[in-house]
C-alpha cells in the first residue's frame, strides 16, 4: 500500500468538487498539497483547510486550456524545488448538447481542457517523474467507458484519457496510474457544462443533483490510489451501466437510448 505521509500531491482543479474533496483526503493522510485552478479564491479556501489538517499547502492559478499558464506552473515548481510524488488530474469541463448541434470549437475546447492540458503537464514534468517516479490519478468518467447522449465531446475527451494513461503506465515502470471512473457525483459539473455554442448551461441536472456524495467518492478514490488500483468505478446505481456495456451490450444500448441524459 502506498504511503502518503510527508509526500506531495499536485491537484489540478483543486478548488471545487472531486478535486477539493480529494485534497482533504490526501491532507488527512499527511500529504502536502499543491492546488491549481483558474480561480484563486476557491483554491485559497481549500489551501487553508488543508493547512488546518496539519500539512503544508500551496496554490497557483492555472488554466489547463492555456499552455503558457502550465509553463508558469512548472517554472514555479522548479523554483520552489517541489518534489511531486502524486499527481491528481481532476480539472475538466462537461457538455450538454447533441453531437451535430455542438460547434467544433466546443469539441476542441473540451479536448484541450480535459485531455491535452493534462498530458502537456505530465510531459513538462517528465524529468522529475522519470527520475523519482510518480503516481498519477486521473479523473475520467463512466462516459470514458462508453458513449452517452448529449456528451459526445466529453465522452471523446475521457476516452482519450484512458488510452494515454493506460499506455504510459505500461511503458514506464516508475510511473503508476489510477484511472478514477465516477458516475454521477453531486458537484456543479452540470452547471458548468457547455451547450452547443460553448456557453455554460447554468443548470443542475436532476441526475447530478441526486448524485453520489462527493466525499464518499473521494474516500473510495483515495483507497484505490493507496492500493495502486489501475481503475476504480465509483458511484451509485448509475454505474451499473459499466458492466451492462461490457457484458450485456444490447441492454446497455436500450437503456442509454431511453434514459434521461440530463
| Mean pLDDT for the stretch of residues 118-137 | 98
Does residue 80 sit in helix, strand or coil? helix
Can you say whether the dihedral through the CA atoms of 148, 152, 153, 159 is positive or negative?
positive
Distance between alpha carbon 149 and the CA centroid of its chain, in Å? 21
d(CA 178, CA 239): 18
Select from 114, 121, 115, 129 the least CA-distant residue to 72: 121
Q: pLDDT over 90 for what percent of the chain? A: 95
Q: Flag whether pLDDT at 256 surpasses 80.
A: yes
Tell which wins on pLDDT, 44 or 258.
44
Q: Note the pLDDT of residue 260.
A: 66
Write out the catalytic residue numbers. 154
Give residue limits of the domains in the chain: 8-258
> In terms of DSSP bridges, do strands 32-37 and 134-139 run parallel, antiparallel, or are they unpaired?
unpaired
Among 205, 170, 173, residue whose Cα is nearest residue 186:
205
Average pLDDT for the chain:
96
pTM attached to this predicted model: 0.96
Residue 108: pLDDT band (50, 70, 90) is very high
> How many Cα atoms within 13 Å fall on the side-chain side of residue 191?
9
Average confidence (pLDDT) over 135-157? 97
Q: Domain 8-258 class? A: alpha beta
pLDDT value of residue 207:
83
pLDDT given for residue 261 in this prediction: 64
**pLDDT band, very low/low/confident/very high, at 258 (cuts 50, 70, 90):** confident
- Residue 196 CA: distances (Å) to CA of 110, 200, 233: 12, 10, 28
Instruction: Render pLDDT for 21-59 as a digit per residue (tens, 0 to 9).
Output: 999 999 999 999 999 999 999 999 999 999 999 999 999
Q: Choose between 83 and 206: higher pLDDT.
A: 83
At 82 the pLDDT is: 98
Amino acid at each position: 500500500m502506498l504511503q502518503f505521509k510527508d509526500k506531495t500531491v499536485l491537484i489540478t482543479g483543486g478548488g471545487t468538487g472531486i478535486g477539493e474533496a480529494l485534497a482533504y483526503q490526501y491532507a488527512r493522510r499527511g500529504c502536502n498539497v499543491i492546488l491549481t485552478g483558474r480561480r484563486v479564491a476557491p483554491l485559497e479556501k481549500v489551501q487553508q483547510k488543508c493547512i488546518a489538517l496539519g500539512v503544508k499547502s500551496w496554490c497557483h492559478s492555472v488554466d489547463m486550456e492555456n499552455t503558457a499558464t502550465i509553463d508558469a506552473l512548472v517554472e514555479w515548481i522548479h523554483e520552489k524545488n517541489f518534489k511531486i510524488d502524486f499527481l491528481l488530474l481532476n480539472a475538466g469541463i462537461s457538455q450538454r448538447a447533441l453531437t451535430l448541434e455542438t460547434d467544433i470549437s466546443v469539441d476542441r475546447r473540451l479536448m484541450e481542457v480535459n485531455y491535452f492540458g493534462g498530458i502537456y503537464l505530465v510531459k513538462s514534468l517528465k524529468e522529475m517523474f522519470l527520475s523519482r517516479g510518480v503516481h498519477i490519478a486521473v479523473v475520467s468518467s463512466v462516459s470514458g467507458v462508453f458513449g452517452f447522449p448529449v456528451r459526445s465531446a466529453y465522452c471523446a475527451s475521457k476516452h482519450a484519457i484512458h488510452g494515454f494513461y493506460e499506455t504510459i503506465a505500461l511503458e514506464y515502470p516508475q510511473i503508476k496510474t489510477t484511472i478514477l471512473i465516477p458516475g454521477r457525483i453531486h458537484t456543479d459539473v452540470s452547471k458548468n457544462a457547455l451547450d452547443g455554442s460553448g456557453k455554460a448551461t447554468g443548470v443542475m441536472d436532476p441526475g447530478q443533483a441526486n448524485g453520489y456524495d462527493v466525499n464518499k467518492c473521494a474516500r473510495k478514490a483515495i483507497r484505490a490510489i493507496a492500493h495502486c488500483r489501475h481503475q476504480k468505478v465509483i458511484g451509485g446505481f448509475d454505474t451499473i451501466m459499466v458492466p451492462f456495456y461490457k457484458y450485456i451490450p444490447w441492454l446497455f444500448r436500450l437503456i442509454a437510448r431511453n434514459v434521461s441524459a440530463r
